Structures are given as C-alpha cells and as structure tokens.
Amino acid sequence: MRKVLIFTLILAVAGLGVTAYWAVKNEVIPVYPEKVKLSWTGGSVKMNASSVCTRNITVNTSSAETITVRIKVLPGDYSTAKVWGEDFIAFADPSEVDVSVGNDARVTIIHYAEEEGTYKVKVIATT
C-alpha cells in the first residue's frame, strides 16, 4: 500500500511539473507598441496650508487606434510619501481617458495640502 501512495505522489508531482512547463511555454504576453506622452510628469509643488492647487496636463499618443490610458499620481520623494494621505494628497481627474493620434485628452492634477510646504509628485500613465 505504501508503494502505491508513493507512486501516486510522484505521478501527481510530475503532472504538476508538466502542466507548469506547458503553461510557461504557451503563455502569450501582449505587447503594446503605443507611446503615451504626458505634458507634465511631475515635480515640486509649493503649497500653502489647507490649500488646493490644480495643474492641467495633456495626454497624447502615437497609436493609430484609440487606447485607454490610466493616469496615476504618486509621491515623488520620501518626505512626500511619509505625509501622503494625511497632510498631502494628489490625484488625477479624470483618472482614465481615451486617446488616439490627433485626439489628445486633458487631465487635471489636483493637489491638496493640510500643512504648508513643498511636495514632490510623479505622474505616470499606464495602458
């Protein structure tokens, strides 16, 4: 009985190995050749206490097809990351736009600070 259990275990492990190998060899990874450009990708923002600041940016692409671009705003340095979500926040509105050649989109980056200071942000685009 013990030999049957060991043989079954070896067969199961071998089956998992074959399945994993097949999945890796047959995986399709889509590649998007589109280039997305932002008119502003981030930098320093000087804020007063309890203030709101906005910045308009343009999103465009060299893609002939219409693509959906998601805009994310992230902390640009360690000191901004420490206060992100408590004393300072920045986000894109709208956070998702459709763009194609000749069809640029405008996005507003909204900054809000509880405390006065200079904050750094990074704006990225994903497809």
- Provide the CATH number for the domain around residue 75: 2.60.40
The structure tokens listed for 5 are 């259990």
In a domain, 7, yes or no: no
Q: pTM of the predicted model, to two decimals?
A: 0.71
Comparison of pLDDT for 12 and 126, the residue scoring more: 126
* Domain carrying residue 111: 36-126
Task: Classify the C-alpha dihedral 65-59-106-91 as positive or negative.
Answer: positive
Q: How far apart are CA 111 and CA 127, in angstroms?
A: 23
pLDDT digits (tens, 9 = 90+) for 9-67: 776 666 666 666 666 655 655 555 668 899 999 999 999 998 999 999 999 988 888 88
Phi, psi for 50 (deg, rounded to 5)? 55, 45
In a domain, 78, yes or no: yes
pLDDT at site 2: 73
Instruction: Count structural domains, the chain.
Output: 1
In a domain, 107, yes or no: yes
